[in-house]
């Protein structure tokens, strides 16, 4: 069991994420965060008035 787990960890470490993938992931997270918090802000303002 430990040999297969060690092999899996080595295999996962050897796989690198490309620069383009990291940039796309960051942009997606940023956009989703803005939409989420913007929606919450808008909802609170609507309820408050």
**pTM for the whole structure:** 0.61
| Residue 25 confidence (pLDDT) above 80 | yes
Higher pLDDT, 24 or 6: 24
| Residue 1 confidence (pLDDT) above 60 | no
What is the spatial distance between Cα 6 and Cα 33, in angstroms, rounded to a whole number? 36
Q: Which of 11, 32, 13, 29 is nearest to 21 (CA)?
A: 29
- Taking residues 10-37, what's their average pLDDT? 89
In terms of residues, how long is the chain? Answer: 49
């Amino acid at each position: 069991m430990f040999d297969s787990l060690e092999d899996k960890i080595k295999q996962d470490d050897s796989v690198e994420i490309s620069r383009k993938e990291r940039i796309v992931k960051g942009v997606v997270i940023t956009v989703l965060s803005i939409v989420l918090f913007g929606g919450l802000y808008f909802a609170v303002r609507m309820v408050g008035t």
